[in-house]
Amino acid sequence: MIEAFLQYVFLQRAVYSAVLASIVCGIIGTIIIEKKLVMMSGGIAHTSFGGIGMGFFLKIEPIIGALIFSVLTAIGITTVRRRTNTNSDTLIGIFWAMGMALGILFIAFTPGYPPDISSYLFGDILTVTELDLKIMIALTGLVIFVIVALFNYWKAYLFDEEFSSVIGIKTIFLEYFLFVLIALAIVALIRVVGIILVIALLTIPPAIAKLFTFDLKKMILYAIFLGIVFSFLGLWISYQFNIASGASIILLAGLTYIAAVIIKRS
């Protein structure tokens, strides 16, 4: 596989995007687990399918469509939740299904052959394009910068929102900011594991990391490390056996989680 890596650009891109995805997952995944935003993130991911459909329909890059949809969904859910008494679970369910439905509608109306949407649904790291990679680099850079630069505030906000607002921290601002970051992260991950599986890559590495540390920063770092291991091994399996990378990465991660829990218990 090493020679192949040196020889084929698509493999190089796959490896770079695996590393980027792992970094994003380690950071954002830890946050969504600790802030109990897993379902929310799933909702944003599925809604972005509407954007992918729109991309095909309008003949713009589908990933750009996904970016627009997921950011708007994140802002939308936050705002509606703050303004009304609607339970966010309900809201997420509504956005989730409507996004998917819109995507299907757009694709149905797209003239010509139906586009291949399975790589967006399940991810295919081996087909990552130059543009995808550039978008991922930009998004990953942004996520790292924002989280590192405001780390102490994020920690306070994630741990105890009420106390943070008592000391005058603008928690509403942080909330919107965080949801937009989650949306960006999801878009960065779609090409690697796809809309349906993204939630697994976000949650499994931090969930394993949490078994072994009580420190937020370490949890993030362990999760990034685990993400890299899973995606490299998953990539290798995918390359060797010619199966979708998303599925192999997730299955590997899931089995490791189960093993880790069992080992930890005994």
Partner 1 sequence: MNAIEVKDVSVYYGNLCAIRDVNLNVKEKEFLGIIGPNGAGKSTLLKVILGLIKPVSGEVRIFGKDLKETNKILGYIPQTSGFDRNFPINVLDVVLMGRLKNRLSLFHRYAKEDMEIVTDLLDKLGLSDVRDRQIGQLSGGQLQRVLIARALAIEPKIILLDEPTASIDANSRSQIYSLLKELNEEMTIVVVTHDLAAVSAYFDSIACLNKELHYHGDKELDEETVEKIYGCPVELIAHGVPHRVFKVHEEGYDD
Note the residues at the interface with partner 1 (CB under 8 A).
34, 36, 85, 148-153, 155-156, 158-170, 210, 213-216, 218-219
| CB closer to partner 1 out of 8 and 163 | 163
Residues contacting 211, CB < 8 A, separation 6+: 260, 261, 264
Token digits of residue 150: 């405001």
We find the least distance from the C-beta atom of residue 216 to partner 1, in angstroms, to be 5
We find the least distance from the C-beta atom of residue 15 to partner 1, in angstroms, to be 30
We find the least distance from the C-beta atom of residue 73 to partner 1, in angstroms, to be 25
| CB closer to partner 1 out of 140 and 164 | 164
We find the least distance from the C-beta atom of residue 245 to partner 1, in angstroms, to be 30
**Residue 125: what residue type?**
I
Residue of 79, 27, 72, 24 lying closest to 51 (CA atoms): 72
| CB closer to partner 1 out of 111 and 168 | 168
We find the least distance from the C-beta atom of residue 146 to partner 1, in angstroms, to be 10
| CB closer to partner 1 out of 60 and 166 | 166
| CB closer to partner 1 out of 219 and 252 | 219
